[in-house]
Chain A
């Protein structure tokens, strides 16, 4: 895909390099997310995940739940075809603040999602950490381990230092992105209202 912005070596000397850098910043503001909703700081991470209506890139990752680390069974996005899938990228397990997003997903699972939605959380943590985290919150869904953030980068959700930004992607039954929130506000009640409405719309095939 030609639209994917890349950061790399800039040939042509420093003046051209600085010029290209500034032009990149100016031309692609919508692809430069200004703020991580989790840490509230500006970032310089280029964001280029699939947009609404586009096919979600396939991936496979190992998973853990509160009961098991999944063993040899990996989660594959293409293997979920025919079901609604919510990908919830989040910074890390056991961050200092209470984990409003995953707690809320857990306590309001039936209201927000229902049985026909496959919810998975994704961060760079190990399966062992994921399992302890899932146990601590009694999570009713799986956590995928993406240690080198390859998948998080595909979905424009990798931040620096091994942390993810907090984003959600809702994938419809045909594997297309039906809803994104690239600054999911874990403490913003409206973020959950919008997500719930998006799930209902996707369920109707809207």
Chain B
């Protein structure tokens, strides 16, 4: 039995609609790659607002949404130290503490005990967490010099280095 062409087309259209609206496999992370990175102010540990506009769109930026209790974040630290050695100040490294189950004092203690290779911000309003749709701590977002999101990932096993090298223009 052959189905009328219009019916096949209609069924295809419905499936296409469903697949678009349900895009993304489980575990996909946060903000869409290719979108413009949100530019907003986030407080530092002293409660002073820091505007991301001073870096986003001007140089590559690495954001990690982290917490002191996050084992995956700690596992990523040596890799970010290496990356920072490689790129130097050509890339801005920002660690946005998610402030959930945190205090500024706890974060400061952690920073004293660990060589944290980030400029640390303390998002007690949750504004950047929402804007970047952070799904979990250890969420890494890489923004290129044009202000476009070129990478997102989560967890200790993620491989952010190739995207970072491309964004920074490092060939090594």
List the 10 closest pairs (A to B, CB-CB), nearest first.
A97-B136, A14-B10, A96-B155, A40-B133, A41-B24, A188-B126, A98-B70, A104-B101, A44-B21, A40-B30
A97, B26: Cβ atoms closer than 8 Å? no
Contact bitstring B98-114, A, C-beta under 8 A = 1, else 0:
11110000000000000
Closest to A42 in B: B21
CA distance A107 to B26 in the complex (A): 27
Contact bitstring B122-160, A, C-beta under 8 A = 1, else 0:
001110011001111111000000000000001101100
B10, A187: Cβ atoms closer than 8 Å? no
Residues of B within 8 A of A97 (CB): 72, 135-139, 154-155
By a beta-carbon cutoff of 8 Å, the part of chain B in contact with chain A is 6-7, 9-11, 13-14, 17-18, 21-31, 65, 67, 69-73, 98-101, 124-126, 129-130, 133-139, 154-155, 157-158
Known contacts A97-B138, A100-B101, A189-B125; 19 additional CB pairs below 8 A are: A40-B28, A40-B134, A40-B135, A42-B23, A43-B22, A95-B136, A96-B155, A96-B157, A96-B158, A97-B135, A98-B138, A100-B67, A100-B70, A103-B101, A107-B101, A187-B98, A187-B126, A188-B129, A188-B130
A59 at the interface (CB under 8 A from B): no
Give A163 Cβ to nearest chain B Cβ, in Å: 5
CA distance A192 to B71 in the complex (A): 21
A186, B100: Cβ atoms closer than 8 Å? yes
B21, A43: Cβ atoms closer than 8 Å? yes
Residues of A within 8 A of B157 (CB): 96
Instruction: Pick from A37, A42, A91, A97 the residue with the most CB of B within 10 Å.
Output: A97
CA distance A82 to B34 in the complex (A): 51
| 13 A–B contacts from the bound complex (CB under 8 Å) | A14-B6, A14-B9, A14-B11, A39-B27, A40-B31, A42-B21, A44-B21, A96-B138, A97-B139, A97-B154, A98-B73, A100-B67, A160-B26
